[in-house]
Amino acid sequence: MLLILLTVVFFVLRVIPGDPIAALLAEGTPTYIVDAVRHSLGLDQPYWVQYLVYLAQIFTGNLGTSIGQYFKGQSVLTVILQRLPATAELTVGAMVVATIIGMGTGLIAGVNRDKPVDLLVRLYGTIIFVIPIFWLGEILQIVFAVNLGLLPAQGRFSSLDPPATVTGLYTIDSLLEGRIDKFLVALQHLVLPCLTLGLVLSGFFTKTVRANLLRTINSDYAEAAKARGIPRGRIITRYALKNALIPVVTVLGLQFAILFAGAVLTERTFSWPGMGSLLLLSINTADYPMIQGTIVVYAFIIVVISVIIDMINGLIDPRVRY
């Protein structure tokens, strides 16, 4: 799967018309310089040679060197690894928000089937799922940052010195440093971006948890438990909810695609210095190795996550064990 994604990326970047060299050099550059640059980047080779070189480089962990104006000459992988923790903090935080809100609302709706609260939650699930994420971010900024002045609207940290880099995750680094104040600052900056991204993602959890809960609540074993006089609340938490969550995990993998796409937009809304911002910066500066590297890292992360989810699936549901 990784190979296919890499091939698609290669195809898009190299085979579709569009000349990185032309974008890189000023207009009117003499032809021999253009050719020299083309040669130095290996872009004068036939596609299949380029393809093999590209694959060989990626599998040895070499993503090349940046040619953009901001990171010229730096290793693409190093730059990406500097940006990765910011995206990780954002996405993990968003996933936590999405899980809590989504499971909560899904549970409420599933238990109160066809009552007004169920309709309301279903409406929420549908609308929040198609809300433009950057717009939601802007609205939250207007309310919480501009009007109420409670939370910072932009960036990852205040004017304070960020904690020394150990993991790159500001929340963890500040705790390692023993500075609660820095931890709180980092956390404050996380709230709005995570809330924005998490809310949009929660719609999916709401719908899936509700649908699966309805199925398990009406199942034979729930009936049996009821017949044995086990209270309804206990049936729901101990029997129905547990089994309702299994299919949720199965389809969770695809949500990461939405999560990462949403993260790119959220990073832009909140000037969050993560991989999404890096990708945009590279696109705007025609930094092809960096664009390619970022996409490859995204693809890699997604493949790793889907493998992990398959494994979790096998652990919680013995029927799918291979």
Partner 1 sequence: MKAERSSHERLSYLSEIPLPFLGRLIHPLIRERRSLAGVLSWMGLGILLFFIFIAVFAPLLVPISQTQPFSSPVLQAPSLQHLMGTDNVGRDVLSRVVWGARTSLEIMAIGVLIALAIGFPVGLLSGYVAGKLDRVLVLVMDSIYAFPGLLLAALIAAVIGKGIFNIGIAITVIYIPLYFRVTRSQTLSVREEPYVEAARALGARPLTIMFSYIAHSAIIAIPVIFSLSSADAILTAAGLSYLGLGLEVDTPGDWGRDLSDAQQFLGVGVWWTSVFPGLMILLLTVGLSFLGEGLNDIINPILRKERT
List of residues contacting partner 1 (CB under 8 A)? 1, 4-5, 8-9, 12-13, 16-18, 126-127, 129-135, 138-139, 141-142, 145-146, 153, 211, 214-215, 218, 253-254, 257-258, 260-261, 264-265, 268-269, 279-280, 283-284, 291, 295, 298-299, 302, 306
CA-to-CA separations, 92 to 169, 204, 255, 312, in angstroms, rounded: 11, 16, 13, 17
Q: Write down the residue that tokens 């990185």 correspond to.
A: 20
Are 85 and 186 in contact, with CB atoms under 8 Å apart? no
The nearest distance, CB 84 to partner 1, in angstroms, is 15
CA torsion through residues 242, 246, 248, 249, sign: positive
Q: How far is the CB of 242 from partner 1 (least distance, A)?
A: 19
Q: Is 218 left (phi over 0), alpha (psi -120 to 50) or beta?
A: alpha
> Rounded to whole angstroms, what are the CA distances from 26 to 22, 194, 277?
7, 40, 25
Query: Of 1 and 164, which has the nearer Cβ to partner 1?
Result: 1
Nearest 5°: the CA angle 185, 196, 144 is 60
Q: Residue 144 or residue 176: which is nearer to partner 1 going by CB?
A: 144
Minimum CB separation from partner 1 for residue 131, in Å?
Answer: 6
Radius of gyration of the chain (CA): 24
Of residues 87 and 174, the one with the C-beta less far from partner 1: 87
CB-nearer residue toward partner 1: 179 or 268: 268
Q: Which residues pair with 65 in a beta bridge?
A: 75
What is the nearest approach in angstroms of partner 1 to the Cβ of residue 198?
A: 17
Min dist CB 83 to partner 1, Å, is: 15
Question: Alpha-carbon torsion 113, 118, 122, 125, what sign?
Answer: negative
Cite the DSSP H helix spans in the chain: 2-10, 20-24, 31-40, 47-59, 76-111, 116-129, 133-140, 170-177, 180-217, 220-227, 232-234, 241-269, 275-284, 288-316
Residue 1 beta carbon to partner 1: minimum distance, rounded to whole angstroms: 5
The residue among 13 and 176 lying less far from partner 1, judged by its C-beta, is 13
Q: Which is nearer to partner 1, 103 or 290 (CB)?
A: 290
Which one, 84 or 172, has the nearer CB to partner 1? 84
